[in-house]
Copies of this chain bind each other. A is one copy, B any other.
Amino acid sequence: MLHDAAQLDLMFQALADPARRQMVDRLSRGPASVSQLAEPLAMSLSAVVQHLNLLEASGLVRTQKVGRVRTCQIEPKALRAAEHWINERRLAWERRLDRLGDFLAETKDET
């Protein structure tokens, strides 16, 4: 198991590529095989497998092979971690703005 920072790094890096985001998008509608994931993408199956391996390494996608088909599904916990990182920063900023607003309101009262 990797520590949070490294895992976060892999996740955001994984999400940075449009093809990989399209794969995540497809998987959000239900599990799919590698070929099914590849079908809408204008690239070789091999390229898709390479993307998929990155997605799996990042923890965003989990896969299991049964016979000759690898079935992929989203790992919502990982998505939540990325979501959480962004959310924390945004909230920190917005709380700061609120405090600033309060301060300005108070200062105005004192005129």
Contact = CB atoms under 8 A, between A and B. Distances in A.
Interface in A20-75: 21, 24-25, 27-30, 73-74
A96 to B, nearest CB: 6
Contact of A74 (B16, B74, B88, B93): B93
A41 to B, nearest CB: 15
**Interface of A: prevailing SS:** helix
Q: How many copies does the complex hold?
A: 2
A76 B90 contact: yes
Contact of A83 (B13, B30, B83): B83
Interface string A5-29: 1001100110110100100110111
B86 A90 contact: no
A102 interface: no
Contacts of A16: 12-13, 15-16
